[in-house]
Protein backbone atom coordinates (compact mmCIF):
# COMPACT_ATOMS: atom_id res chain seq x y z
CA UNK A 1 0.00 0.00 0.00
CA UNK A 2 1.33 3.43 -0.90
CA UNK A 3 1.76 6.16 1.69
CA UNK A 4 -1.00 8.17 0.01
CA UNK A 5 -3.42 5.25 0.23
CA UNK A 6 -2.52 4.67 3.87
CA UNK A 7 -3.40 8.31 4.62
CA UNK A 8 -6.66 8.03 2.70
CA UNK A 9 -5.50 10.49 0.04
CA UNK A 10 -6.32 10.33 -3.64
CA UNK A 11 -3.47 8.78 -5.65
CA UNK A 12 -2.69 11.19 -8.46
CA UNK A 13 -1.03 10.00 -11.65
CA UNK A 14 -0.93 13.32 -13.44
CA UNK A 15 -2.37 16.82 -13.66
CA UNK A 16 -3.30 19.14 -16.51
CA UNK A 17 -3.55 22.70 -15.14
CA UNK A 18 -5.78 23.92 -17.97
CA UNK A 19 -7.91 22.09 -20.52
CA UNK A 20 -10.57 23.30 -22.94
CA UNK A 21 -11.45 19.84 -24.26
CA UNK A 22 -12.09 17.55 -21.27
CA UNK A 23 -15.41 19.16 -20.30
CA UNK A 24 -17.37 20.69 -23.20
CA UNK A 25 -17.71 24.44 -22.81
CA UNK A 26 -15.71 24.64 -19.57
CA UNK A 27 -12.19 25.74 -18.64
CA UNK A 28 -10.94 23.10 -16.25
CA UNK A 29 -8.01 21.45 -14.58
CA UNK A 30 -7.82 17.69 -15.07
CA UNK A 31 -6.74 15.35 -12.27
CA UNK A 32 -5.65 11.94 -13.57
CA UNK A 33 -6.41 9.32 -10.94
CA UNK A 34 -4.16 6.29 -10.63
CA UNK A 35 -5.48 2.77 -11.13
CA UNK A 36 -7.94 0.97 -13.38
CA UNK A 37 -9.50 -2.53 -13.15
CA UNK A 38 -9.79 -2.92 -16.93
CA UNK A 39 -7.15 -3.50 -19.59
CA UNK A 40 -8.46 -1.98 -22.81
CA UNK A 41 -5.93 -2.55 -25.59
CA UNK A 42 -6.35 0.91 -27.06
CA UNK A 43 -5.74 2.73 -23.75
CA UNK A 44 -3.58 5.82 -24.29
CA UNK A 45 -2.80 6.26 -20.57
CA UNK A 46 -1.23 2.86 -19.73
CA UNK A 47 0.94 4.46 -17.05
CA UNK A 48 -2.24 5.02 -15.02
CA UNK A 49 -3.34 1.37 -14.97
CA UNK A 50 -1.32 0.26 -11.93
CA UNK A 51 -2.69 1.14 -8.51
CA UNK A 52 0.34 3.13 -7.34
CA UNK A 53 1.43 6.46 -8.79
CA UNK A 54 5.06 6.96 -9.79
CA UNK A 55 4.95 10.67 -10.57
CA UNK A 56 5.46 11.93 -7.01
CA UNK A 57 2.46 14.24 -7.22
CA UNK A 58 0.35 14.38 -4.07
CA UNK A 59 -3.24 15.42 -3.56
CA UNK A 60 -1.86 18.32 -1.53
CA UNK A 61 0.04 19.49 -4.63
CA UNK A 62 -3.23 19.50 -6.58
CA UNK A 63 -5.03 21.46 -3.88
CA UNK A 64 -2.25 24.07 -3.84
CA UNK A 65 -2.59 24.57 -7.59
CA UNK A 66 -6.36 24.92 -7.31
CA UNK A 67 -6.00 27.63 -4.68
CA UNK A 68 -3.91 29.62 -7.17
CA UNK A 69 -6.41 28.94 -9.99
CA UNK A 70 -9.53 30.01 -8.11
CA UNK A 71 -11.43 32.50 -10.26
CA UNK A 72 -9.57 31.39 -13.40
CA UNK A 73 -11.08 27.92 -13.84
CA UNK A 74 -14.70 26.88 -14.18
CA UNK A 75 -14.15 23.45 -12.75
CA UNK A 76 -12.07 20.36 -12.12
CA UNK A 77 -12.39 17.06 -13.98
CA UNK A 78 -11.40 13.78 -12.34
CA UNK A 79 -10.18 11.43 -15.05
CA UNK A 80 -8.02 8.34 -15.18
CA UNK A 81 -7.33 5.52 -15.11
CA UNK A 82 -10.69 4.94 -13.50
CA UNK A 83 -11.36 7.50 -10.75
CA UNK A 84 -14.00 5.29 -9.10
CA UNK A 85 -11.29 2.70 -8.38
CA UNK A 86 -10.23 4.82 -5.42
CA UNK A 87 -12.35 5.06 -2.25
CA UNK A 88 -10.77 8.48 -1.61
CA UNK A 89 -12.49 9.99 -4.66
CA UNK A 90 -15.60 11.14 -2.82
CA UNK A 91 -13.64 13.13 -0.24
CA UNK A 92 -11.49 14.67 -2.98
CA UNK A 93 -14.56 15.75 -4.94
CA UNK A 94 -16.15 17.21 -1.82
CA UNK A 95 -12.96 19.15 -1.14
CA UNK A 96 -12.90 20.59 -4.65
CA UNK A 97 -16.52 21.65 -4.36
CA UNK A 98 -15.67 23.27 -1.04
CA UNK A 99 -13.11 25.40 -2.89
CA UNK A 100 -15.85 26.72 -5.15
CA UNK A 101 -15.18 24.66 -8.28
CA UNK A 102 -17.69 22.75 -10.34
CA UNK A 103 -16.82 19.07 -10.77
CA UNK A 104 -16.67 16.84 -13.83
CA UNK A 105 -15.99 13.11 -13.91
CA UNK A 106 -14.69 10.75 -16.60
CA UNK A 107 -15.67 7.17 -15.86
CA UNK A 108 -16.46 3.80 -17.35
CA UNK A 109 -18.79 2.98 -14.47
CA UNK A 110 -16.82 -0.01 -13.19
CA UNK A 111 -17.90 0.57 -9.57
CA UNK A 112 -21.64 1.33 -9.35
CA UNK A 113 -21.74 1.66 -5.55
CA UNK A 114 -19.01 4.28 -5.52
CA UNK A 115 -20.63 5.97 -8.50
CA UNK A 116 -23.85 6.27 -6.50
CA UNK A 117 -21.90 7.96 -3.70
CA UNK A 118 -20.24 10.61 -5.87
CA UNK A 119 -22.98 11.25 -8.43
CA UNK A 120 -24.85 13.79 -6.24
CA UNK A 121 -21.60 15.80 -5.99
CA UNK A 122 -20.76 16.13 -9.70
CA UNK A 123 -22.04 18.58 -12.30
CA UNK A 124 -21.15 16.65 -15.46
CA UNK A 125 -20.09 13.12 -16.40
CA UNK A 126 -18.28 11.86 -19.47
CA UNK A 127 -19.25 8.16 -19.56
CA UNK A 128 -17.13 5.78 -21.63
CA UNK A 129 -19.05 2.94 -23.25
CA UNK A 130 -16.56 0.35 -24.43
CA UNK A 131 -18.72 -1.87 -26.65
CA UNK A 132 -22.16 -3.52 -26.66
CA UNK A 133 -22.52 -4.37 -22.96
CA UNK A 134 -22.56 -8.12 -23.62
CA UNK A 135 -19.24 -7.79 -25.46
CA UNK A 136 -17.31 -5.77 -22.89
CA UNK A 137 -14.71 -8.47 -22.17
CA UNK A 138 -13.55 -8.25 -25.80
CA UNK A 139 -12.32 -4.73 -24.99
CA UNK A 140 -11.68 -4.71 -21.24
CA UNK A 141 -10.25 -8.25 -20.94
CA UNK A 142 -12.31 -8.63 -17.76
CA UNK A 143 -15.16 -11.12 -17.54
CA UNK A 144 -18.51 -9.62 -16.50
CA UNK A 145 -17.36 -6.02 -16.91
CA UNK A 146 -20.43 -5.06 -18.93
CA UNK A 147 -22.82 -5.61 -16.02
CA UNK A 148 -21.49 -2.88 -13.68
CA UNK A 149 -21.09 -0.56 -16.66
CA UNK A 150 -24.74 -1.01 -17.57
CA UNK A 151 -25.85 -0.47 -13.97
CA UNK A 152 -23.84 2.74 -13.77
CA UNK A 153 -25.15 3.95 -17.13
CA UNK A 154 -28.75 3.50 -15.98
CA UNK A 155 -27.94 5.27 -12.74
CA UNK A 156 -26.46 8.24 -14.58
CA UNK A 157 -29.41 8.59 -16.93
CA UNK A 158 -31.91 8.36 -14.06
CA UNK A 159 -30.00 10.98 -12.04
CA UNK A 160 -30.54 13.79 -14.54
CA UNK A 161 -26.91 14.91 -14.18
CA UNK A 162 -25.60 16.56 -17.34
CA UNK A 163 -23.61 13.96 -19.27
CA UNK A 164 -22.05 12.78 -22.50
CA UNK A 165 -21.74 9.14 -23.48
CA UNK A 166 -18.85 8.28 -25.80
CA UNK A 167 -17.12 5.31 -27.37
CA UNK A 168 -13.52 5.07 -28.52
CA UNK A 169 -13.41 3.30 -31.87
CA UNK A 170 -10.56 1.22 -33.23
CA UNK A 171 -11.83 -0.23 -36.54
CA UNK A 172 -10.22 -3.60 -35.78
CA UNK A 173 -12.10 -3.90 -32.50
CA UNK A 174 -15.53 -2.36 -33.17
CA UNK A 175 -17.45 -2.77 -36.41
CA UNK A 176 -20.16 -0.41 -37.63
CA UNK A 177 -22.71 -3.06 -36.62
CA UNK A 178 -21.33 -3.13 -33.08
CA UNK A 179 -21.49 0.66 -32.84
CA UNK A 180 -25.07 0.61 -34.10
CA UNK A 181 -25.93 -1.87 -31.32
CA UNK A 182 -24.36 0.44 -28.73
CA UNK A 183 -26.17 3.47 -30.11
CA UNK A 184 -29.54 1.72 -30.21
CA UNK A 185 -29.17 0.52 -26.62
CA UNK A 186 -28.16 3.95 -25.34
CA UNK A 187 -30.93 5.72 -27.21
CA UNK A 188 -33.40 3.24 -25.75
CA UNK A 189 -32.14 4.07 -22.27
CA UNK A 190 -32.76 7.77 -22.84
CA UNK A 191 -29.28 9.02 -23.73
CA UNK A 192 -29.37 12.28 -25.67
CA UNK A 193 -25.68 12.91 -26.39
CA UNK A 194 -23.46 10.18 -27.82
CA UNK A 195 -20.02 10.82 -29.29
CA UNK A 196 -17.65 8.58 -31.23
CA UNK A 197 -13.98 9.14 -30.45
CA UNK A 198 -11.35 8.10 -32.96
CA UNK A 199 -8.58 5.86 -31.63
CA UNK A 200 -5.30 7.69 -30.97
CA UNK A 201 -2.06 5.76 -31.31
CA UNK A 202 -0.22 8.26 -29.10
CA UNK A 203 0.56 6.60 -25.78
CA UNK A 204 -0.97 3.25 -26.74
CA UNK A 205 1.20 0.41 -25.41
CA UNK A 206 -0.38 -2.21 -27.67
CA UNK A 207 1.91 -2.17 -30.70
CA UNK A 208 -0.42 -4.32 -32.78
CA UNK A 209 -3.29 -1.87 -32.40
CA UNK A 210 -1.12 1.24 -32.58
CA UNK A 211 0.63 0.26 -35.82
CA UNK A 212 -2.26 -1.39 -37.64
CA UNK A 213 -5.12 1.09 -37.87
CA UNK A 214 -7.40 0.48 -40.87
CA UNK A 215 -9.15 3.40 -42.48
CA UNK A 216 -12.32 4.35 -40.64
CA UNK A 217 -15.41 2.67 -42.11
CA UNK A 218 -17.64 5.45 -40.79
CA UNK A 219 -18.60 7.93 -43.53
CA UNK A 220 -20.56 11.11 -43.00
CA UNK A 221 -23.91 9.67 -44.05
CA UNK A 222 -23.52 6.76 -41.62
CA UNK A 223 -22.65 9.07 -38.72
CA UNK A 224 -25.59 11.33 -39.54
CA UNK A 225 -27.94 8.35 -39.53
CA UNK A 226 -26.54 7.25 -36.18
CA UNK A 227 -27.03 10.73 -34.74
CA UNK A 228 -30.69 10.83 -35.71
CA UNK A 229 -31.38 8.14 -33.15
CA UNK A 230 -30.58 10.65 -30.39
CA UNK A 231 -32.75 13.50 -31.63
What average pLDDT does the segment 13-20 reach? Answer: 96
What whole-number distance in Å separates Cα of residue 10 and Cα of residue 86? Answer: 7
Side by side, which strands form the sheet with 75-79?
12-19, 28-33, 75-79, 102-107, 124-128, 162-169, 194-198
Higher pLDDT, 196 or 220: 196
In total, how many domains does the chain have? 1
Mean of per-residue pLDDT scores for the chain: 92
What average pLDDT does the segment 186-197 reach? Answer: 94
The answer, yes or no, to whether residue 156 has pLDDT greater than 60, is yes
> What do you get for the CA distance between the two ends of the chain, in Å?
47
What average pLDDT does the segment 128-141 reach? Answer: 97
The answer, yes or no, to whether residue 3 has pLDDT greater than 50, is no
Q: Do residues 68 and 15 touch, judged by C-beta distance below 8 A?
A: no
What average pLDDT does the segment 153-164 reach? Answer: 97
What integer pLDDT is reported at residue 159 of this predicted model?
97
The whole domain housing 41 covers 3-228
CATH number, position 157: 3.20.20.70
pLDDT in tens, 91-129: 999 999 999 999 999 999 999 999 999 999 999 999 999
Amino acid sequence: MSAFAARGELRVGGLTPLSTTDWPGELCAVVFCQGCPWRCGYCHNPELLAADSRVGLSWGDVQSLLVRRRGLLDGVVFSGGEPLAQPALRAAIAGVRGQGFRVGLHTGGAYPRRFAQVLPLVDWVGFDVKAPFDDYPLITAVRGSGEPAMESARMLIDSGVDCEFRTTVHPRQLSPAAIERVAARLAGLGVRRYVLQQFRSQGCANAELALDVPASPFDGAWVAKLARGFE
